[in-house]
Amino acid sequence: MCAHGPITADKSPRVEEQETNEASGLPRHFEEALKELGSAIASKKVEPICTSYMALRRAGHAMPLHEFVSHIESAHGPTAHAVVISAFSHRKCFMCEDGGIVCQTCHGSGQVDRFMCPQCDGMGLRPCTFCLGTSWNDPNEVPGELRKGVFRRQVAHVEKDAARLSKLPDASKLKSAGSFSPAKRGQVVSWLVRLRARLNSLTGSPMDSEANRVVRYEALIRRIDGILEALVPAHAAPLDEDDEDEI
Ligand SMILES: [Zn+2]
Ligand SMILES: [Zn+2]
């Protein structure tokens, strides 16, 4: 009953120090944490799922992993553990919005007095130094038993996202057409910078053993660099919004 009671020579197992539900044989604090996780899963919200999983993990720290997972799945269904993995794969960096910090000098436009912003080199943003631009939560904060699964999910997110690259016009067309409004351009740049950071992070991950993926991601990074170069003038040239007046 009292967790701070005297340590006795009693040989009963450790869990007996906590109140146990006689019907299930589980410590009550574990059951409570399990219930919390259930409500979090039902809410489908990333943060509550991650924090309640961490609490459950602390409550069941002495349990073998397979037993721990089977408690989760028998309480909340066979996909419950996969939902937890998915939540961690979507967990956000606490220090930024979407991986980029809007440049304070040009307020994201990439230019100052019609010239390239010297602060951000025309990008309009700088990658968050905390998540290195991925907008993902620190991989070291993902519990060890989930890391492989989270890595696979993140690969899947990135693959899906990278497929959108093929819908963009070629770098050469982008450069000549000036096809984006400044707002749209900012969105595209921010998306590309984040995707690039994610590709980079996944290829550098100790989880990654697939040489093919590394080669493919490096090719994608080069394509992104080409597009970014077309979208972000590397020299002091006025951007699209002024072109209308000049032509
Ligand atoms: Zn700037
Ligand atoms: Zn960040």
205-242 residue pLDDT tens: 777 767 788 889 999 999 999 888 888 765 444 444 44
**Which residues are registered as beta bridge partners of 102?**
125
Q: Helix H segments across the chain?
A: 28-43, 46-59, 65-76, 80-90, 147-163, 171-177, 182-203, 211-231, 240-246
User: What's the CA-to-centroid distance between 94 and ligand 2, angstroms?
Assistant: 6
User: What's the CA-to-centroid distance between 112 and ligand 2, angstroms?
Assistant: 25
User: What's the CA-to-centroid distance between 95 and ligand 2, angstroms?
Assistant: 5
Q: Residue 158 has which token pair?
A: 């990135």
Ligand number with the minimum distance to the CA of 119? 1
pTM score: 0.79
Residue 121 pLDDT: 84
The dihedral built from the CA positions of residue 127, 128, 132 and 137, taken in this order, carries a sign that is negative
Q: Is the pLDDT of residue 11 over 90?
A: no
Place 62 in a pLDDT band, splitting at 50, 70 and 90.
Answer: confident
User: What's the CA-to-centroid distance between 44 and ligand 1, angstroms?
Assistant: 37
Residue 81 pLDDT: 95
Ligand number with the minimum distance to the CA of 116? 1
d(CA 103, CA 20): 55
141-199 residue pLDDT tens: 999 999 999 999 999 999 999 999 888 877 777 665 556 777 788 888 899 999 999 99
Residue 16 pLDDT: 46
32-50 residue pLDDT tens: 999 999 999 999 999 999 9
SS3 annotation, 148-204: HHHHHHHHHHHHHHHHHHHHCCCHHHHHHHCCCCHHHHHHHHHHHHHHHHHHHHHHC
Contact 117, 110 (CB under 8 A): yes
